Amino acid sequence: MAVKSQTKYLWFETKKLRDYIRITDEIAAFLKESGIHEGFILVSAMHITAGVYINDWEEGLIQDIDTWLEQLAPENPAYHHHRTGETNGDAHLKRILIGHQVMVPVTEGRLDLGPWEQIFYAEFDGQRRKRVILKALGI
């Protein structure tokens, strides 16, 4: 079978410094545009102070994730990175913790996700324009 590839970029500019935005529907719409029935979609944050993850769409848990990331990778003026004039050292570490990309399987023309799996964009240094790449490869 002939392989198809499709690429799209999602843009974000959050009002808050940290935010968690559900993007499952955008990925499903992209899948339709791609015409792919079997394969993968890469969803990857292109800025190094943002991430992409798959977890629960439940406000309490999203709060828990935010609190937990701040505990393990706190805002802190003392990061060496801040000698460059930056103030977002914590955001780089939060991206590492949550991960910056997922591969979404495509089966029979639909996103093959579990019953509670939802795809999220995680912003850790917002209020500027940032991109996420969607790239599908399949048949």
Binding residues vs a copy of itself (CB under 8 A): 1-3, 5, 7, 38-40, 42, 44-48, 53-56, 58-61, 63-65, 68, 72-73, 79-84, 89, 92-93, 95-103, 105, 107, 112-117, 131, 133, 135, 137-139
Starting from the edge strand earliest in sequence, which strands make up the sheet with 101-107, in order? 4-12, 130-138, 39-45, 101-107, 110-111
In the complex, the smallest distance separating the C-beta of residue 69 from a copy of itself, rounded to whole angstroms, is 9
CA distance 113 to 100: 18
Helix/strand number for the chain, H first, E second: 3, 8
Polymer length of the chain: 139
Closer residue to a copy of itself (CB): 17 or 103: 103
Closer residue to a copy of itself (CB): 29 or 61: 61
